[in-house]
Structure 1
């Protein structure tokens, strides 16, 4: 029921012919919560060179709708589901479960529409891509590491062989070795300006019907995809970033052009802005409790609060401080979540609250005389170890 209520504030796309979803994980550090269950090693950025970017805590996976954004609009996302990734699972399995729940609900507006999910390189593997091929209206746009090896589709002979295993893969396509690349199927060019006025020219090379090595349990070789290579230069033709590789996989991937794929993946970074706002302004990581269920309820509460801000962004008025002249928004542009939060008191005062006024219900009797509270047990940090098959064997 909660998902259907959230879908009522999701706008239908007008500029692009598909709904855009974003999937990513964020961590909540709980290093000193020794009585909190199911803590593990999570990613935590650090500015100290040489330190590993890890911490002890919980990881949460968020699936959100990324609405269309015009020039000058602030980045927003509309969270649909945000839940904890347990230590006996991983972000890939949790993301698959979240997408299946959202796409299999026939009461949602995108149940029969084309949907595109953008994910980073942590999801660009066969463990994530292969199980989701059962979703016929889903196209996954995943970033690929630059050291991957893919294959061309095999050439089907007119006289099939009578012996041996059928050919699954064609010529080798190593992303690090340009000599193994064949001629791209399509080449596109575009130019755009950043918010600071910098002009960036991008060249997109597309190779269709590429294959990823699979197996019996995950037959990724049965699902061809389109491989994109995006190279960006400035106005002086100087390279700005390392070339980016994208995987476009899905039965309806032909309905997504290379330019739409590039624009959609660029908007994936709106998820990072949402995580930062939830942590800094909505206190996502500030709530401390020794109960896992209470922490999960707090995360859902923060998610619903963010959705409330999105629902009120159209009636909010930007009220910049006297020293924030550079933050004055242009007319007909979408203001940021922080500006909606600043105007929230005025909005809620005009709309009112359906809750009744609090009433005194008496005083609690408290603990009984002589009652002793037992200490909570100290729980260990769960560390995932490599499987025995991956550990090298040494001679005795």
Structure 2
């Protein structure tokens, strides 16, 4: 082993030990049980199925009752945990900027009638355009993305959406607080490139850019194919009477005769998608309506200009017919290099789906049958801390591959492969949890006595419609374009 490689391993081990010590300090109640519970998640032989099975992992020295009690009545200093996640080394794009992806994933709880604050979550059915609402707890998660194809991300924050929350407002507040923590932690300095925030079509990109306009942030998001934007208002001719126009001509996504000549056109040959053609049009904005979320102090509606990018590819790896992708970027005057960088950065947004799948299928984020949303929040922070330890252990892990798996270099190990070797890495790091004290279980309810205090049941939060609402009409097969923001 070379000296530089040995120094790199020593530095990675020190970074991992530092984070484990800080993670333990964030646990304010039942800290030993919660810390060993996270170690059990990392050192298990297979996917996590339940909290009771984690008590059988050798790294967890508590019984199953103690683990459930730790999740139900433990304590996590979330503010300190958020600062700890913002202080670890983060991946950066090729140009050195931070790229953040934000998305909502749901912890589905359809049969948990005694769990409060459940919301109807949007899920996809097996058929085309079959969207099934299922009760659950939606979480808004922000991750830092790595450059290139990878299944790794760096989760930085998780926030459960409460009933009645506006997703755009909550996400803007979440991003604002996260960026403040990143600046405080030294992840961004004056003179650095703006942080790029990437979102999917479920977010209102112009509104998100408007709410974050005072921060060093650029917003890139996909737009629906039925949107209509406006060009800049034409120059006012001398002698023209009347109020000056605020909007120019329409740019209808579904009508190519309204597009005009693109400002930038790039053609790139890719391995997965064939020829990728990107065209961009500068200084397009949505026509806003009079809503309280848009109106400024003087009552006027802002003009939020940005760049629209249309991406066309030859084919998809699955063989399905590709559809054009429309993107909106909060910046203007995009160069050909900016256009290529933006659509390639958007494709990296799908790496967050790998993280969600690992949370649910391997680390068992949604496996425990937890009753209260507060306990769900504690378990969520434990999963984020466990994943961060996997990411910091990447330079230390050996490739314990299955006989049917291909060898992978250390820098290409997936999170699941790093988890296989974490049991051998853990003894070399800081383990601040103390040994459990002997105790006896409580007497419980006497035999034959009924439960006189049943758990209250809670309804699923739904948006109530007024009596004056219009009756439902059959959905049109040719919907009209959306001409307002």
Distance 1:224 1:360, change over 3 A: same
Q: Distance in 1 between matches of 2:106 and 2:364?
A: 13
More displaced stretch, 106-115 vs 376-385: 106-115
- Counterpart in 2 of 1:107? 184
Match of 1:226 in 2: 307
- CA 1:208 to 1:251, structure 2 compared with 1: closer, same or farther past 3 Å? closer
- From 87, 90, 97, the equivalent of 1:11 is 90
State how 1:264-275 maps to structure 2 within 5 Å. 264-275=345-356
Cα 1:49–1:107 shift into 2, 3 Å: closer
1:107-186 to structure 2, matched below 5 A, reads 107-108=184-185, 109-110=187-188, 112=190, 113=192, 114-135=194-215, 137-157=216-236, 159=238, 161=240, 163-164=242-243, 166-186=244-264
**How far is 1:386 from its partner?**
4.3
CA distance in 1: counterparts of 2:339 and 2:126, whole angstroms: 36
Q: Which runs of 5+ in 2 are unaligned?
A: 1-79, 296-300, 474-485
Structure 2 Cα separation of the partners of residues 286 and 347 of structure 1: 26
| Matched position secondary structure for 2:184 | coil
Distance 2:336 2:465 in 1: 41
Q: Secondary structure at the match of 1:100?
A: helix
Report if the CA contact (8 A) 1:35-1:378 is conserved.
yes
SS at match of 2:124: coil
CA 1:85–1:14 in 2, change beyond 3 Å: closer, same or farther?
A: closer
CA distance in 1, matches of 2:173, 2:363: 26
Cα deviation code 1:150-194 (max 9, x no counterpart): 111111225374532x31111111111111111111111111213
Aligned pairs for 1:288-303 within 5 A: 288-303=369-384
- What secondary structure sits across from 1:133 in the alignment? coil
**TM-score (normalizing by structure 2):** 0.72
Higher mean displacement: 2-11 or 169-178: 2-11
Does 2:278 correspond to 1:200? no
Instruction: Specify the SS of the correspondent of 1:228.
Output: strand
Aligned equivalent of 1:188, options 244, 261, 266: 266
Q: Which residue of 110, 113, 129 corresponds with 1:34? A: 113
**Hey, what's the Cα distance between the residues in 2 that align with 1:306 and 1:145?**
33
CA contact (8 A) 1:133 1:250 kept: no
1:1-396 to 2 correspondences below 5 Å: 1-11=80-90, 13=92, 15-47=94-126, 52-69=131-148, 74-105=150-181, 106-108=183-185, 109-110=187-188, 112=190, 113=192, 114-135=194-215, 137-157=216-236, 159=238, 161=240, 163-164=242-243, 166-194=244-272, 200-216=274-290, 217=292, 218=294, 221-234=302-315, 240-250=321-331, 257-325=338-406, 328-329=407-408, 331=409, 333-361=411-439, 364=442, 366=444, 373-386=452-465, 391=470
Give the 3-state SS of the residue equivalent to 1:93 in structure 2.
helix
Distance of aligned partners of 1:201 and 1:5 in 2 relative to their CA distance in 1, 3 Å threshold: same
Bigger shift: residues 353-362 or 363-372: 363-372
Structure whose residues are more often helix by fraction? 2
**Counterpart Cα distance in 2 of 1:275 and 1:132:** 26
Q: Is the 8 A contact 1:24 1:62 kept in 2?
A: yes
Superimposed CA distance per residue, residues 215-242 of structure 1 (whole angstroms, 9 cap, x where no aligned partner): 454167522100001111159xx99511
Q: 1:254 to 1:35 in 2, by over 3 A?
A: farther
Write the distance in 1 (CA, Å) between the matches of 2:464 and 2:379: 30
Residues 322 and 93 (structure 1), Cα distance of their counterparts in 2 relative to 1, 3 Å cut: same
Equivalent residues of 1:168, 1:221 under 8 A apart: no
Aligned alpha-carbon RMSD (Å):
2.9
Q: Please state how far the C-alpha of 1:64 moved relative to its aligned partner.
A: 1.1
Q: Report deviation, 1:39.
A: 1.3
Contact 2:92 2:145 in 1 (8 A): no
Structure 1 distance, partners of 2:286, 2:236, is: 21
In the TM superposition, residue 334 of structure 1 has moved relative to its aligned partner by: 2.7
Higher relative contact order (CA 8 A, sep 6+): 2
How many residues are matched?
380
Please give the alpha-carbon distance, in whole angstroms, between the structure 1 residues aligned to 2:376 and 2:250.
48
Checking the alignment, whether the CA contact within 8 Å between 2:168 and 2:204 is kept in structure 1 is no
Partners of 2:205 and 2:328 within 8 A in 1: no
Residue 27 of structure 1: how far off its partner (Å): 0.9
Please state whether the residue corresponding to 1:258 is helix, strand or coil: helix
Separation in 2, partners of 1:191, 1:234: 12
Q: CA deviation at 1:358?
A: 1.9
